[in-house]
């Protein structure tokens, strides 16, 4: 604690000073101390992590005598669109006392080597040279003895921003190691959105919520998790918007909603499909939008349940050309592929037709809409109500409001984390598609996204510094895009960027972690358990995995195999033993014994650090130059400066990576080992790693790298002309002027205007530019063999399987109120605002039936494992549900056994599907991600003597 304290009693005992005139006495005793407390000799810009939705709040950081004394929200955002409130003030309670973390006892200030057994807590302080030599040798040993895929990096941009993430991955990419895709590691990937749009991340700017007339929030608790932007919801309500919270528990967000709709856990698909049924049955759907934007008018063969394709009708025809029945001419006509504009065609949505195939036979076909309509009979409001527990009249009311208003559905982070999350989200998207509620202001699915900051990605491709080299890289990219478009003239800019990303995979270390978990972490036992899976999974998980691999659906993706155990595992800021589903149960048992060197890079001792062999201390926010992950929610590049130097031996992650690169190069030369071929068959050379990392020794510190990133991003045109690092240092943040080159930001598919809020997908709805899906339309019908086999070609409701065993409670979760993940969870100031320790929230009646009183310790358990923690009683939780919010450190639990222990980390087998248009991997996209919601558990009181 560095804030001066004031002892008034001590002041009272001091002799009274002789009276002076006001002029001679500018300050007086205790007032003077108070004034001194709020003095500073330096102010810098700072910001924090990303998962606080949207994060990136620009803060002013006040420094006195080399110590950060406090911070405050800058609150300097201008108005963007006339009549729409500005973004100010962005901040939250964690940000308001972030500086306390810099001086907290859990900070690690020197490199440490484990002295006892892993997790025993015995450490030896060592020099950086010793630590990096040991790590460099471990990496070289692994490459020499087992191959470069045995070196694995996991991490998060939350700890150190872009600079930290890019630095370590630069080494891993160079040596041909494995970098686990963070979007699956943290399960922020929405398969439902990806299946429908061929991209996972439609995101509107925060202020666009102001344009909404009707907002449904589901799978989110925004008053906990969207603190900086939730005011737009309140402001929209002042303007007359109605808001709905759909949640199983009566969460704290319900008091800010006009309607609270309690739903049985994991039954959102039934609600969405019930609404869709009403919208169609009452003829409330927007037929023109459905015909133009979706695949619902495309013809389906009734004999195969597959789309009618050109290859069905013509010898040598294409598999990705599809058909309408034109109601105007009475003909089957090809759906345009290069545009969504149907021109003179009037695609029928209903009817049964006959077509003659290339082999002369005839089959019956019908629009997908007709099949959907038939399936929706199972979800008439009374039937849907029996599943989801919502009154049929409420389902009708929600449907009618969605259909008649400018409406949006914010389906939060929890919506990705259920076994059938894809079906739930697809059902909500169907409601939006039927009602024309995307691609205009105030509408749409609202999700998280990133992009626009191209500098780091251009840097990765450069072999020299400077704008000339940047232009060279840009022209090579332009040539490649032109080449792709020459191969397929119907490719849009967005599709070409995706194609480029997908084709570059053999050169990338980033990989879907599903293979790492399968081959290295023992999850295949869980994934193959039939009773923990959906009954429509007809074969074992292994059989699906083998088919996916043998058909080459994941070809070109760097991936670990069972032939080569992980030898070096580096965790940078991610705290894998806390956040990995089944963390300690799976990883300590399966991964830890394999790995010869486990390394944590972090600014604090966390649970993963406690079980590591080496701990490398990183600089904190405010102690390094970095940029936090930019998002379309904010549309600004936010700068975080080195307000103070890191204490003792802590170093910025870029500096750690640079020194590691130098040490690997040195050791490789000393050991006479440099050149090798990695598992993807690419030649590598360790002896030139340092040169490559620093681009000929020019980029030895993060300040210089940051300059280049900003310069290159400006060169692309995504920052205003003339922007430099100095501009950012003065202003703290700068609004983007365009999306840039990244496919993820192009996925927003809307013009970025300086004086308007942003709503995704306006290129699709206004310019009729196709979607990057197989059918080039928002795709609700997935005729992949596996989806047909599972009965999931259209969204349906399926019950959550009993993951973890047949137990009476369903466990849910969410970000807690007091921390972003576990970063702030032991901040002493924040801890004083709540019970300060993990707890499970449980319904009073459930607890009473088990003789459990408030704050008594219970054991939460299932077939996977257990954790012990006190109960917080609340009638807001529905009977049969328990909530353990996310973000506690395992070491805060008895025996360090935390809630992840009961999570089997199931993945849905269908998400291994590939070989089908957009169902393929590119960074952060289509891949299986583990499930942690809806796990089954039981709860038992712990008697005092146990």
Nearest residue (CB) to ligand SF4, 473 versus 825:
825
Cα–Cα dist 764/603, whole Å: 44
Q: What is the largest CA-CA distance in the chain?
A: 113
User: How distant, in Å, are the alpha carbons of 194, 239, 512, 732, 907 from that of 911?
Assistant: 11, 41, 11, 40, 8
Q: CB under 6 A: which stretch of 52-60, 161-169, 240-248, 709-717 binds ligand SF4?
A: 52-60
CB of 132 to ligand SF4, least distance (A): 31
Nearest residue (CB) to ligand SF4, 586 versus 631:
631
Nearest residue (CB) to ligand SF4, 57 versus 296:
57
CB 242 within 8 A of CB 401: yes
Preceding amide of 89 cis, omega within 30: yes
Cα–Cα dist 458/460, whole Å: 5
Q: Is 54 helix (H, G, I), strand (E, B) or coil?
A: coil
Comparing every residue's Cβ against ligand SF4, the nearest one is: 95
Beta bridge partners of 70: 62
Cα Rg of the chain (Å, integer): 28
Q: Does 545 bind ligand SF4 (CB under 6 A)?
A: no
Cα–Cα dist 470/770, whole Å: 30
Q: Does 732 bind ligand SF4 (CB under 6 A)?
A: no
CB of 627 to ligand SF4, least distance (A): 13
Q: Which residues contact 122 (CB under 8 A, 6 or more apart)?
A: 114, 115, 116
Nearest residue (CB) to ligand SF4, 206 versus 927:
206
Nearest residue (CB) to ligand SF4, 452 versus 862:
452
CB of 846 to ligand SF4, least distance (A): 33
108: number of Cβ within 10 Å:
22
CB of 228 to ligand SF4, least distance (A): 5
Cα–Cα dist 136/141, whole Å: 9
Residues in 211-270 that interact with ligand SF4 by CB under 6 A: 227-228
Per CB under 6 A, the list member of 44, 57, 84, 233 interacting with ligand SF4 is 57
CB of 669 to ligand SF4, least distance (A): 43
Nearest residue (CB) to ligand SF4, 230 versus 417:
230
Main-chain phi, psi angles of 662, to 5 degrees: -65, -40
CB of 790 to ligand SF4, least distance (A): 39
Q: Does 162 bind ligand SF4 (CB under 6 A)?
A: no
- Counting other chains too, the contacts that 12-18 makes at CB distance below 8 Å and 24 or more residues apart are none
Q: Does 52 bind ligand SF4 (CB under 6 A)?
A: yes
Q: CB under 6 A: which stretch of 49-57, 249-257, 715-723, 749-757 binds ligand SF4?
A: 49-57
CB of 255 to ligand SF4, least distance (A): 20
Give me the sheet containing 42-46, strands edge to edge. Answer: 42-46, 59-64, 67-73
CB of 633 to ligand SF4, least distance (A): 11
# chain residues binding ligand SF4, by CB under 6 A: 15
Nearest residue (CB) to ligand SF4, 602 versus 938:
602
CB of 224 to ligand SF4, least distance (A): 11
CB of 630 to ligand SF4, least distance (A): 12
DSSP letter for each residue of 460-527: HH-SS-SHHHHHHHHHHHHHHHHHHHHH-TT--HHHHHHHHHHHTGGG--EE-THHHHHHHS-THHHH
Q: Which residues contact 661 (CB under 8 A, 6 or more apart)?
A: 170, 171, 174, 689, 690, 693, 694
Residues in 80-99 that interact with ligand SF4 by CB under 6 A: 90-92, 94-95
User: Binding string, 754-783, against ligand SF4, x = CB under 6 A?
Assistant: ------------------------------
Nearest residue (CB) to ligand SF4, 44 versus 112:
44
Q: Does 585 bind ligand SF4 (CB under 6 A)?
A: no
Q: Which residues contact 426 (CB under 8 A, 6 or more apart)?
A: 192, 195, 196, 269, 272, 780, 795
Nearest residue (CB) to ligand SF4, 228 versus 647:
228
CB of 831 to ligand SF4, least distance (A): 16
Cα–Cα dist 461/507, whole Å: 11
> Counting beta carbons within 10 angstroms of the beta carbon of residue 363, is it exposed (0 to 12), middle (13 to 18) or buried (19 or more)?
middle
CB of 628 to ligand SF4, least distance (A): 7
Q: Are strands 331-334 and 353-356 parallel, antiparallel or unpaired?
A: unpaired
Nearest residue (CB) to ligand SF4, 228 versus 436:
228
Cα–Cα dist 803/682, whole Å: 40
CB of 620 to ligand SF4, least distance (A): 13
Nearest residue (CB) to ligand SF4, 48 versus 559:
48
Q: Which residues contact 479 (CB under 8 A, 6 or more apart)?
A: none
Main-chain phi, psi angles of 506, to 5 degrees: -60, -20
Q: Which residues contact 614 (CB under 8 A, 6 or more apart)?
A: 111, 112, 113, 114, 131, 134, 135, 597, 598, 599, 600
CB of 69 to ligand SF4, least distance (A): 17
Per CB under 6 A, the list member of 55, 574, 583, 814 interacting with ligand SF4 is 55
CB of 47 to ligand SF4, least distance (A): 5
Nearest residue (CB) to ligand SF4, 373 versus 735:
735
Nearest residue (CB) to ligand SF4, 55 versus 442:
55
CB of 833 to ligand SF4, least distance (A): 14
Q: CB under 6 A: which stretch of 55-63, 129-137, 448-456, 586-594 binds ligand SF4?
A: 55-63
- CA nearest to 359, candidates 303, 300, 323, 311: 311
Q: Does 280 bind ligand SF4 (CB under 6 A)?
A: no
Nearest residue (CB) to ligand SF4, 33 versus 97:
97
Nearest residue (CB) to ligand SF4, 56 versus 148:
56
Residue spans of beta strands (DSSP E) within 540-629: 568-572, 597-602, 614-617, 623-627
User: Binding string, 810-829, against ligand SF4, x = CB under 6 A?
Assistant: ----------x---------
Q: What is the dihedral of CA 421, 425, 427, 432, to 10 degrees?
A: 180
Nearest residue (CB) to ligand SF4, 95 versus 202:
95
Q: CB under 6 A: which stretch of 44-52, 207-215, 497-505, 724-732 binds ligand SF4?
A: 44-52
Instruction: Give residues in contact with ligand SF4 (CB under 6 A).
Output: 47-49, 52, 55-57, 90-92, 94-95, 227-228, 820
């Amino acid at each position: 604690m560095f804030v001066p304290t004031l002892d008034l009693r001590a002041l009272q005992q001091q002799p009274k000073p002789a009276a002076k005139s006001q002029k001679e006495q500018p300050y007086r005793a205790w007032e003077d101390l108070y004034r001194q407390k709020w003095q500073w000799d330096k102010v810098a810009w700072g910001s924090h992590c990303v998962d606080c939705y949207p994060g990136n709040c620009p803060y002013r950081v006040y420094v006195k005598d080399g110590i950060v004394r406090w911070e405050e929200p800058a609150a300097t955002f201008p108005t963007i669109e006339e009549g729409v409130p500005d973004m100010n003030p962005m901040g939250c309670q964690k940000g308001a006392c972030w500086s306390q973390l810099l001086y907290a006892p859990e900070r690690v200030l020197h490199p440490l080597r484990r002295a006892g057994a892993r997790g025993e807590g015995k450490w030896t302080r060592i020099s950086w040279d010793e630590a990096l030599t040991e790590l460099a040798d471990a990496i070289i040993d692994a490459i020499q003895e087992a191959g470069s895929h045995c070196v694995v990096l996991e991490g998060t941009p939350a700890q150190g921003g872009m600079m930290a993430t890019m630095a370590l991955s630069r080494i891993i990419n160079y040596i041909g190691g494995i970098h686990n895709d963070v979007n699956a590691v943290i399960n922020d990937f929405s398969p439902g959105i990806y299946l429908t749009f061929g991209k996972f991340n439609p995101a509107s700017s925060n202020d666009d919520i102001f344009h909404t007339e009707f907002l449904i929030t589901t799978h989110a608790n925004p008053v906990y998790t969207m603190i900086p932007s939730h005011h737009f919801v309140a402001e929209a309500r002042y303007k007359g918007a109605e808001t709905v919270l759909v949640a199983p528990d009566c969460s704290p967000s319900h008091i800010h909603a006009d309607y609270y709709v309690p739903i049985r856990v994991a039954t959102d698909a039934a609600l969405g499909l019930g609404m869709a049924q009403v919208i169609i049955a009452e003829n409330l759907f927007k037929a023109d939008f459905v015909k133009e934007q979706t695949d619902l008018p495309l013809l389906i063969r009734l004999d195969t349940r597959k789309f009618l394709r050109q290859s069905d009708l013509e010898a040598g025809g294409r598999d990705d050309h599809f058909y309408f029945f034109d109601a105007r001419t009475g003909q089957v006509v090809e759906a345009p592929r290069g545009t969504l504009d149907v021109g003179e065609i009037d695609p029928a949505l209903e009817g049964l037709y006959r077509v003659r195939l290339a082999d002369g036979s005839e089959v019956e076909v019908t629009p997908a809409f007709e099949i959907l309509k038939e399936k929706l009979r199972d979800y008439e409001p009374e039937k849907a109500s029996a599943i989801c527990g919502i009154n049929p009249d409420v389902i009708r009311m929600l449907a009618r409001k969605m259909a008649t208003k400018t409406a949006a559905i914010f389906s939060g982070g929890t919506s990705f984390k259920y076994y059938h999350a894809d079906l739930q989200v697809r059902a909500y998207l169907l409601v939006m598609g039927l009602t024309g509620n995307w691609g205009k202001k105030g509408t749409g699915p609202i999700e998280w996204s990133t992009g626009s900051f191209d500098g780091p990605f251009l840097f990765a491709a450069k072999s020299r510094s400077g704008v000339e080299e940047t232009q060279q890289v840009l022209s090579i990219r332009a040539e490649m895009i032109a080449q792709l478009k020459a191969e397929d003239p119907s490719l849009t800019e967005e599709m070409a960027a995706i194609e480029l990303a997908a084709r570059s995979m053999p050169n990338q270390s980033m990989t879907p972690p599903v293979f790492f978990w399968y081959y290295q972490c023992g999850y295949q036992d869980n994934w193959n358990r039939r009773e923990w899976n959906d009954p429509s999974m007809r074969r074992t998980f292994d059989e699906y995995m083998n088919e996916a691999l043998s058909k080459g659906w994941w070809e070109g993706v760097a991936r670990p195999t069972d032939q080569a155990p992980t030898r070096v595992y580096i965790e940078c800021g991610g705290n894998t033993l806390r956040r990995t589903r089944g963390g300690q149960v799976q990883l300590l048992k399966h991964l830890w014994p394999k790995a010869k060197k486990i390394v944590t890079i972090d600014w604090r001792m966390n649970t993963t650090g406690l079980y590591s062999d080496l701990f490398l201390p990183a600089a904190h926010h405010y102690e390094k130059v970095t940029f936090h992950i930019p998002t379309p929610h904010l549309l600004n590049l936010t700068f975080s400066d080195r307000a103070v130097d890191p204490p003792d031996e802590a170093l910025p992650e870029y500096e750690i990576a640079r020194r590691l690169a130098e040490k690997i190069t040195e050791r490789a030369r000393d050991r006479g080992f440099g050149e090798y071929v990695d598992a993807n068959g690419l030649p590598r050379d360790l002896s030139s790693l340092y040169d490559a990392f620093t681009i000929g020794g020019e980029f030895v510190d993060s300040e210089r790298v940051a300059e280049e990133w900003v310069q290159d991003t400006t060169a692309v045109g995504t920052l205003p002309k003339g922007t430099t690092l100095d501009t950012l240092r003065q202003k703290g943040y700068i609004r983007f002027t365009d999306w840039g080159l990244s496919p993820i930001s192009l996925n927003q598919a809307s013009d970025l205007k300086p004086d308007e809020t942003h709503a995704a997908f306006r290129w699709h709805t206004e310019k009729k530019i196709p979607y990057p899906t197989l059918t080039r339309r928002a795709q609700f019908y997935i005729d992949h063999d596996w989806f047909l086999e599972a009965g999931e070609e259209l969204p349906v409701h399926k019950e959550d399987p009993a993951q973890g065993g047949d137990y009476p409670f369903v466990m849910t979760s969410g970000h807690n109120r007091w921390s972003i993940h576990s970063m702030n969870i032991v901040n002493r100031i924040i801890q004083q605002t709540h019970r300060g320790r993990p707890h499970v929230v449980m319904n009073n009646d459930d607890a009473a039936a088990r003789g459990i009183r408030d704050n008594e310790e219970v054991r939460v358990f299932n077939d996977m494992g257990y954790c012990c923690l006190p109960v917080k009683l609340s009638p807001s939780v529905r009977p049969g549900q328990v909530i353990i919010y996310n973000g506690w450190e395992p070491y805060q639990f008895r025996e360090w056994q935390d809630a992840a222990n009961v999570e089997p980390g199931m993945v849905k087998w269908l998400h291994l599907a590939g070989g089908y248009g957009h169902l393929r991997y590119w960074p952060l996209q289509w891949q299986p991600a583990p499930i942690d919601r809806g796990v089954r558990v039981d709860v038992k009181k712990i008697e005092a003597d146990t």
